[in-house]
A and B are shown apart, each in its own frame.
Chain A
């Protein structure tokens, strides 16, 4: 069965410092991986996805993610954090078969950026 894991409930980082939010996956076949962000009392916003191709994926708001097949990881990164990046981040994998919209989400990581 497809699954993702986010090992950290919370990540704290100072503004201007680089940030990393971790995600590992377990899938059969090639993974379709996603990152979404949720601000308080809001829905989910798509950040980026990996389907195939370049292992470094660039997304919205300056975020990027690195797909690492050998480590089965898909970590979210940003070179310089902003206070406004503080939110809840979810990693997700598409379930099989791939004609479904069903996403399997991780438990979420709360990112707190301090001024």
Chain B
């Protein structure tokens, strides 16, 4: 079974631009969540989706948004990029049934903002 797939793996943007990151969960998984990882702030929760509905959101500005499609694939968007948005963005999925809490993470999209 294929794991969580994130694209692109690496990208470079300049300040003020916007970026869209994609996440394909493990087949059959209906819940997708996103995390930001930086050296200074560590791992921080961005948001989570279940059946196309945002179920929870972390403390990030409105420039960070996301969505989930009917096939459970998810995208997150960051508009008006700032230098501080440089980070590894991790997507995770799990089955939408009994929530044991174990998340399956992708390898991440590393964003560099210049």
Contact = CB atoms under 8 A, between A and B. Distances in A.
Contacts, number: 65
Given A43-B4, A90-B43, A101 B94 contact: yes
A36 B105 CA distance: 10
B105 A45 contact: yes
Interface stretch (B13-21, B61-69, B70-78, B95-103): B95-103
B48 A102 contact: yes
Interface in A75-115: 90, 94-95, 98-108
Interface residues of B, number: 26
A78 B40 CA distance: 29
Interface in B80-114: 90, 92, 94, 99-108, 110
Interface of A: 32, 34, 36, 41-46, 49, 51, 90, 94-95, 98-108
